[in-house]
Amino acid sequence: MKLIIINGPNLNLLGKREPEVYGNKTFEDYFADLQFKYKDVQLEYFQSNIEGELIGKIQEVGFSYDGIVLNAAAYTHTSVGIGDAIKAVTTPVVEVHISNTHKREEFRHVSYISPVAKGVILGFGLQSYDLAIQSFLK
């Protein structure tokens, strides 16, 4: 099983950014925990603050990986291009959010990812990633 977690803008600041919303753990530390837990899964990680780089990574892995766990962050609510990239590839995508976006500002209630994703997991903190990985293993 070959999975990749793709994180969008500002998620490189986890552990520092709004700890009351996102917690105190860096994503790199959490990713190490996931790699330890899922030793039988080839688990990779990519993060970018640049929309085109996220689209490029989806296209790069979107025909050869077993799954993509995608937290497009703010691009979730603005990027038709990321939604189109997901539609264009064959690898299934699970949309993930650390916070419950429906409890936040109204613009965060709209997702260009959800209509083309295999599923959506949100509001469980970093555990949302773990739940997404589990969805590919079942």
| Active site amino acids | 22, 97
The first and second tokens of residue 55, run together, are 């689209």
DSSP run (H or E) holding 30: helix 27-37
CA distance 71 to 31: 14
CA distance 131 to 118: 13
In eight-state DSSP terms, residue 115 is G
Q: Are 118 and 100 in contact (CB under 8 A)?
A: no
The first and second tokens of residue 101, run together, are 């976006």
